[in-house]
Each structure stands twice: as structure tokens, then as C-alpha cells.
Amino acid sequence: MSESHAADHAHHFESVEHEFDAGKLGMWLFLVTEIMLFGGLFVGYGIFNYLYPEMFREAHHELNKVMGAFNTIVLLVSSLTMALAIAFIQRNDVKKSKLMLIITFLCACTFLVVKYFEYSAKIHHGLLPGHFFTNTDLQSANAALFFSFYFVMTGIHGLHVLIGMACIAWIYWRMNRGDFNAHKFGAVEFVGLYWHIVDLIWIFLFPLLYLVV
Amino acid sequence: MAHAANINFYQASHGWKSWLFTLDHKRIGMMYIVTTLLSFLIGGIFALLVRIELFSPGETIMSAATYNKLFTLHGAVMVFWFIIPSIPGALGNFFLPIMIGAKDVAFPRLNLFSYYLLITGMLFNVYSIVTGPIPDTGWTFYTPYSIQNSGAVISMVMGVFIMGFSSILTGLNFIVTVHKLRCPGMTWYRMPLFVWAIYGTSILQVMATPVLGITLLLLTIERYAGIGFFDPKLGGDPVLFQHFFWFYSHPAVYIMVLPAMGIISEIIPTMSQKTIFGYRAIAYSSLGLALVSFLVWGHHMFTSGQSELANFIFSLLTMATAVPSAVKMYNWSATIYKGSVSLTTPMLYALGFLFTFGIGGLTGITLGALSIDMHFHDTYFVVAHFHYVMMGGTAIALFAGLFYWFPKMTGKMYNECIGKLSFWIFFVGFNTTFIAQFVLGVNGMPRRYFDYLPMYTNWNRVSTVGSWLIGTAALLIVGNLFMSFFRGAKAPANPWNGKSLEWQAESPPVLENFAHTPTVTAGPYEYGVKHG
Amino acid sequence: MEQNSHNNTNKHTHHLVPFKVYVVTLIALLILTVLTVGVSYIDFGKGNIYVSMGIATIKASLVMLFFMGLRYDNNLNRAVILSSFGGLAIFFFYAAADSWTREKPKLVEVKAAAVAISLDELKKLELGSAELASKGKEIYNVNCASCHGTEGKGDGIAAAALNPHPRNFHGALSDWKNGASAKAIYVTLANGIPGTGMASYQTLPVADRWALVHYVRTFLSEKPASASGDAKYAAAIKADGIGGSGPAVKATIPIDFAIDRMTK
């Protein structure tokens, strides 16, 4: 059996399924590192939120809840389309899978465009991190600290969105080339897992940053 | 692809490109050996210079500013270029797949990528050294000094960031390998204990290293933009940096020592020709140590201004770390008892480990006691403790492992006489250097000090002379390995009568490790047990 | 091949999840998003963070179970990702256990070090006594010996770092800035010497400073007498509130207060 699929998988695995399983475990382990990396930022945020509740409350009102909620919905939809891309290739429907990848990519673009508008508004009001903070409206001491968190957390998240987009584009290119079918689609699934983590992190970022009561 | 049954992995392909672009875990392991041993020598030179400066109080051969840079470099190079990558990258890479009967690691290209990440990170560090000013913050980069000073901190920490990813990807690779690539019959409880140790280490590498990553990233951003997380003037907390830093760096010391313990677990049964005492206890203790290591990082911060509650919790939990280590020490000793012991070079190094790691571990517990650490923190007592565990633990075990597996990796024997000589010079030199530092610490000499009171002179001199012995031993060790690689006598496939899978392979192994995938029917230490 | 059983090769590798499941999951997530926003307008007090994070956790679980396939996957992958949340929880718990339980700095009134002294008492202090000098020795060893040395030779442990060097009391008296009379030494203690490492010790009580004066004078090779109309001395005494309305307090931390705080 394995002889006919000899070209389908690396020589140290016995089968495509074996390779797929190993790759999936590898991707989950990589996602652990992403959780720990972002997690550090959440830990810092949590600690300071507790120490300076009034300042966080005042500063967060500067964030645009509507844009934040819209972006949340955009990412959730993109998670669906990503999952559908995999569902379609599992059923050997390359055409629909490619369509889903395109929609996912466009959702990601939308997300970044909205973020561009948000960041512009902040820059306009001088609500920047650290040294660059020039806003005079906020009364609380150390309000710059909130915006340091805002920019670092959404910035690194945005970077991961960009990386995700590059990965999706790569998968699309490979799918176009005919690399994937119902039997072999590991790379699509693994990029999908990465994309869902990007969505997951935003699920936590949105209420913490935008909806502090 | 031809089944290269009689061609060993060196002969399977030729030319420097076949090495630099190799996907063979054995070749990658050899490249790690060369790189990490070179790093050891470089870090060692910094240490020798530091010790020469400390030969006398006041300025001896360098200014205070230079001294601060040198001990920073010594720490950073030894930790990030040498100790963390060495055993997993070198011996782990070479032997993990062979020990479980696999053809390679799960992701060979990722493996090569890990190696090049290490090199890239090292180059970033070299850049910061060459363009300067060399940072003088100590390898721990504490804020606020690391934020304010004018050294090339960013390029140095970005180098460390990149090397961190090398470590993460290696760990990831090994975990998947152990789960997915065991040969038929290789159940979890038939794996050699070295594999269990590497597995525990890999969990730490994957879970803890990313936190170092975010820490160094935040430090970099703080230097550029003054975001204020660690700056009290902006509402931040410098102690928070220490929490972030030590959340990684404490598990990191177990990344350093767990693989070392794994090596000892291999050498002792073989050299005693007796099955290991308490296999499961040692296996579980590797995992237990990995888990507990996440709970104790605050013991590096007892005098930094942590709350009383945190100090209390961390001190209490630190006591728990003694248990898994002690289990191993007892079990190794019980293994040797009534065994048929061969005092070969690897066994000498392994026995040396029992002595030096014993001291290192016990003094760690001493420091874990809050009331004692109040006085000993930042003294030479701490310096001596961590050298006993890192050098008297990881380094001595690395040497043991390199000699033990040298015949398997190269098909040649190292020089036994020089091997034994190097052990004794190392052992005497090491203990001289660092027992002197325990004395200095108890008498109150602070660490990272360029100058010291005249009353500390004599013990400092003893320590410096000891360091010269270590340097001599290091040259003998590296020289022996290097020369024997080219001119050593031919070695048999199983010179030590070991029972684990690697001894069933050729010396050196063929490209895919085994001519036919093995089927395992017994444990790795079944000496004197008859099989059907 | 036979090794599949312990290689964890998932029998459900290509388990086909119905499209419906994905769509329903998205709808649930969108509803929960609306809920998240809605709930943010209600103040649960301390419970706010738990409510918002609770909803976020449910959303995250839906993503992991259905979009990421954990519902149909093996236990190993589940254990792997859950362990990361465990690790994060440990990090947060212990870091917070420190940051949130530190003693909040309290505003403590630093009591004026100088107690109102009458002119008569001042005269007695100026005259001095053996008792006063030996008290001065104790105060000297705590406050002064680290720079000036235990024998007053200017060779204390910290001396090497100071420029100019701390005064050697046994040496020549001609270059003393304020002079070496008793009142001159008192002035030096009160004001310090600007531009040097000699700080002002105005936070020490007047009686303590006079005790120091008498002890330091025991080191001197000769003991010049105080000038009667010493203007600087008069100013120093006035600043200490002697014979007046009360002492002036400088904004410095007294050493015993600092030691008390540090050793707590």
C-alpha cells in the first residue's frame, strides 16, 4: 500500500495519515508557544488593570467600540470561511475551497483596514504609547500606559494577522498548483489552526481593551 | 533511494554543501557539537579573564567598565550559546531518533532551521560585541538599567530572541518525534531514560521560552518607545520585568540540567552492567521536575521587593524541587551498588556528576530558604551554587556523554588515558575554583563586583588558580575528542555492552539508522535477563 | 502497519464535519459577541471581569471545539493546548500574588527630628561632657564611620569612591571649610559641605549633633576655640528653631526610619 503513495509523504513516515497526525501535533505545539507569548501581555495587562482601575476606565473610552465589534465579527466570519475551506478540500472541492480562502483573505484585509482607521484616529488625538503620548485631555496619571498596552497588544496581533495572510496566500498558490486533494491537505488544515488562534486571541482582546466597564 | 545498508552516514554524501544543507539528524547533531564546544571555549576565555582580574583587589588587568562587560558576556555566551543548546541539540538530535528506532526526527527541515536560528542569533550577538558598546547589564538584563544604559542592548537581546526560537522548535520537534515515531514494540516504558529526560526538557522549551521572547520584545520596545511597563515613573514596575524574565529562566535551568540527568541515567546502568534502579520513578521524576520548575521562579527575587506573601509561597514551593532530583540521586546510587563497575572515562565523569550536582542541588535548597537567601543573595554563594549545578551538572554530564557515545558517533575510540587525566584535572580544578567561592560567599563577598576588600584576596587567588586547571582540562577534553575523531583506533559497535537500541546500530550508524526498522521486545537496561 | 496503535494515528483523521456544525457555531459566536457588548453596559462591580472573561472563554471554547476540530480530535492534542492555558494561569496567579499584595505606600509624617530646645539646654550641650562624647561615639559609628573610618582617619569603606576624600580628622586643620572649632563642626553637620559627599545631618536631633561634635573633637590634634560671634552658627541654630517658634524640617529621610522600612 505504502509503495504507491511513496511520493505523497516524507520517507520517515509510514503514510499520509501518519504524516498528517505528526504535523497536526506539531502545529498544536506551536500554538502553545503563541498562547504563552501573547499570554505574557495579558498577564501584564491584568496586573496593571487591577492596580489602576480608574485610569483604565477613563482611557478605554477613547477606543471605538463599534470598530472593535465590527472587527470581532469580521474575524469570526473569517474563521468560518477558513473552516469551510478545509471542509471543501476534504470533499475534494478545490474550486469552493479556493473561494473560501479568498474570502478569508479579504476578511483579514478588512480587519487591517479598520485597524488603520483606528490607529489614525489615535495618532490624531496624540494617544500614542510611551514617549510619543501627547494627549492632554485625559485626566488620569500614567494614561500612556493603557495606550502602550493597546498598541503593543493590537500591534503584535496585527502582525500575526499579516503573517496569517501570507500563509493563506501561500496555501492558495499551492492549491492552484494542484498540491491538495481529499487525501492530502495537511498544510491547509495547519494554516487553518493558526488562523483560528489569531481569531481566538482577538476574542479575548476585544472585551479587555474595548469593553472595560 | 538505495537502502544504504553498509554505508555509514558520513559516506552517504560528500562535500561541504551536503553538510550545510543536510536533513540528517546525525549530521545536524555533529554540527551542534562543534558549535557548542566552540561556544564553551569562548565563554571560558571570558571566565578566565574575569578570574585574572579578580586575582587581586583593585584594578589588575582591566577597568571596572570592561569588567562589567566581560561578566555580562561570560554569562550570556555560556547560557545562550552553550548550555541551553548543547545537550538537546547535540546528543538529543543524534540519539533521540536512534534510541526509539526511528529514521529521523519528525520534522527534519525544521531541525536544520533550528540550527541556523542558533547561528543567526549568535551572529546578532557578535554584531553587538563588535559594534558596541558592549552591554554591561549582566546576562539578566534587569530594568531599569537595561533600559537606560547606552550599551547595544537591543541587538544583544534580539540575538537571544532568535536563539530562543531555535530552542522552541527543537523542543517541538522532539515531542512530536517521541509521540509519533517510535518503532514497533517501543512502548513508553521501554524508552531509554535519556529520551524521557529530553521529553521533559522539550515541554519546558515549548512552554517557557516564548515568555522570554515576549520579555525581550517588551524590553526592546521600552528602549525605543518608553512604553512604561517596567518604569515606575510611568506607572510601571521593574519587578514585573523580573517576573517575566525568571518565569522562563527558572525552567531554563531545568532545560539545562534535565538532559544532563538523562545522560547519567544511561551511563550508570551500562557501566555498572546492571539494570537501572527505579526506572519509572526516574521517568516520572523527569516530568515532575519539569512541572515543578514552573512554580518557583520567584526565589530569584526574594530581595527584589516582592510582597511577603509571594516570598513565602515561592520559598515553600522551592523545597519541592528537591524531591524529583533526590529520587534520581538515590536511584543512581542504588544502581551502582553491587554492580560490576567499569571506571572508564565516561563513568568517572558520571560519578563526578553525582558529587558536584549533589553539592549544587543541596546549596540550591539552602538558598531556597527565604531567611538564608536574604543574606546570601547576590554573594559568591549564589555564584558557586549555580556553577556547581550548571558546570558540575550540565557540562560534566555533556563531557560524560560525548565520551560515552563517541565510539557510536564516529566509529573510533577516544584516548582513554588522556580522557581519565582530563577528568581528574577538571574535577580538582572545578572544586578548587568553586569551593573557594562558597567560602567567599559565606564571608559576604558580593558578586559582580570589580573590586573587593583585602580580606577576600586569598580565597580569590585560590579560585583563580582553580580556573586555570579547568582551562587546561577543557583543552584536553576538546583536543582528545578532536584528535580521536581523525586518528582514533577503530571502535566496535558496542564497546560498553549497552542494551539500548543505539548500541544495536552500526558505529557510526547508517544513513537511516538501521538497515531494517527494529522491533523491540525488552527494556533498555535488561542486563542479565535472558530473552527468547 | 502494526505500530499505529501506539503511534496515536488518529482513526478520525479525515472525519467529515457537517457544514451545518460550522454555520451554527458561527451563529452562536455572533450571538455571544452581541451579549459581550450588551453586558458591558451593566455594572457587576467586582464581577465585571469574570463575566466578560467567562463569555470570552465560552467563545474560545466553541472556536477550539468546532472550528479547530478538538471535538473530534484525540486527547493528546486537547491536553497540549489545555496545558498552555494552565501554564498561563500559573504565570498570572503568582505574578499577581506578588504585585497585588505589596504593601501600599502609606503617607507617613516624618516627625521633625529636632525637639524644641531651650537656650539653657543649648549652653549645656555646647559645653559637653564625657557622657555626651560617648553617646557621640555610638552615633558616629552608625552615621559617619562608613566614610570617615572607625578611627576618624577618613579611610572608611565608602571612602574609595568619594572625591574629595572624606576628612581625616587627625590631619591638618588649616583647610577645614568651616573651621575646626566646636561651633564650626556643628555648622558643618547642619549644612553639609555642598559639592562634596558630606551631606547635611539636620535630621539628627540637635543633642545628637552636639554629641557628635564632642566625639569628633577627640580625634583632633589641637582644639581651636569657637569664635563668639559666629554668624553661621547663629543661622544654624535659628534654622533648628532654638529659642524660636519651632524647628524647620528638611525633606530628608532619617536613617533609622529608612532602616525600619527596609527591614520590615
Question: Which residues of chain B lie closer than 8 angstroms to A141, CB-CB?
Answer: 235
Helices (H), C144-227: 145-148, 182-191, 206-217
Mark out the alpha helices in chain A (DSSP H runs): 16-51, 53-60, 65-90, 94-124, 143-176, 186-205
A7 touching chain B per CB within 8 A: no
pLDDT tens digits along B419-456? 999 999 999 999 999 999 999 999 999 999 989 999 99
- Asked if B495 reaches chain A (Cβ–Cβ under 8 Å), the answer is no
> How far does Cα B307 stand from its chain's mean position?
32
Distance in angstroms (rounded) separating the CA atoms of residues B459 and B450: 15
Say if A29 is an interface residue toward chain B (CB within 8 Å).
yes
Mean pLDDT of A104-117: 97
- Asked if residue B167 is part of any domain, the answer here is yes
pLDDT in tens, chain C (264 residues): 334 444 445 555 568 899 999 999 999 999 999 999 999 888 888 788 889 999 999 999 999 999 999 999 989 999 999 999 999 999 999 999 898 888 876 666 655 554 567 788 888 888 888 888 889 999 999 889 988 988 998 888 777 777 778 899 998 888 888 888 888 998 999 888 888 888 888 878 888 888 999 999 998 888 888 876 678 888 888 777 776 555 555 556 666 667 777 665
Higher pLDDT, A44 or C159: A44
Nearest-5° Cα angle at A170, A164 to A175 = 125
Q: Which residues of B touch A152 (CB under 8 A)?
A: 218, 221, 227
- Residue pLDDT, tens place only, B155-210: 999 999 999 999 999 999 999 999 999 999 999 999 999 999 999 999 999 999 99
Alpha-carbon distance of A127 to A141, in angstroms, equals 14
Q: What is the pLDDT of residue C253?
A: 66
Please tell me which residue of chain B has the smallest CA distance to C102.
B307
Distance from CA of A191 to the nearest CA of C (A): 11
Cell numbers found for residue A47: 496586573
d(CA A187, CA C212): 81
CA distance C156 to chain B (A): 12
B185/chain C closest Cα distance in angstroms? 8
- Model ipTM value: 0.92
* B358 grid coordinates: 549533589
Q: Which residues contact B377 (CB under 8 A, 6 or more apart)?
A: B302, B303, B367
* Contact (CB<8Å) B180/A21: yes
Chains in touch with A (3+ beta-carbon pairs under 8 Å) read B, C
Residue B288 CA to residue B292 CA, distance in Å, equals 6
pLDDT reading at A4 higher than 50: no
- Give the distance from residue C30's alpha carbon to the nearest chain A alpha carbon, in angstroms: 7
Of B108, B235, B244, the CB nearest to A40: B244
Residues B80 and B29: their CA atoms lie apart, in Å, by: 17
Q: Does residue A6 have a pLDDT over 70? A: no
Domain tally, chain A: 1
Domain count, chain B: 1
Shortest CB distance from B237 goes to which of C1, C2, C99?
C99
Across the range A35-64, mean pLDDT stands at 91
B184, B295, B453 member nearest C3 (Cβ):
B184
> Does any domain span residue A88?
yes
Among C42, C66, C84, whose Cβ lies nearest the Cβ of A35?
C84
Q: Which of B208, B236, B244 sits opposite A145 (nearest CB)?
A: B236
Interface contact A204-C85, CB threshold 8 A: no
Do the Cβ atoms of A145 and B227 come within 8 Å?
Answer: yes
Q: For B100, which residue in chain C has the nearest alpha carbon? A: C7
Q: Is A50 part of a structural domain of the chain?
A: yes
**Integer CA distances (angstroms), C17 to A196, B38, B190, B276, in order:** 16, 53, 37, 48
Residue B510 lies in a domain: no
Within a domain: A107: yes
Euclidean distance between CA atoms B296 and B305, whole angstroms: 16
- Chain A residue closest in CA terms to B511: A12
Q: Which domain holds residue B256?
A: 3-504
| Residue A65 domain-assigned (yes or no) | yes
Q: What is the pLDDT of residue C1?
A: 37
CA distance A14 to B480: 41
Residue C66: partners with Cβ closer than 8 Å, 6 or more residues away: A83, C17, C21, C22, C25
Cell numbers that stand for C83 in this block:
496545558
Interface A-C: count of C-beta contacts within 8 A? 138
CATH code where residue A191 lies: 1.20.120.80
Domain of A171 in residue numbering reads as 15-128+139-210
**Pairwise CB contact (< 8 Å): C97 & B181:** no
Question: In Å, how far is C103's CA from the nearest CA of chain A?
Answer: 12
Which amino acid type is present at position B397? Answer: A
Are B247 and C98 a contacting pair at CB < 8 A?
Answer: no
Tell me which residues of chain B have a pLDDT lower than 70: 1-6, 528-532
The separation between the first and the last C-alpha atoms of chain C, rounded to the nearest angstrom, is 67
Domain assignment present for residue A104? The answer is yes
Residues A32, B207: C-beta atoms closer than 8 Å: yes
Q: Which CATH number goes with the domain that contains B181?
A: 1.20.210.10
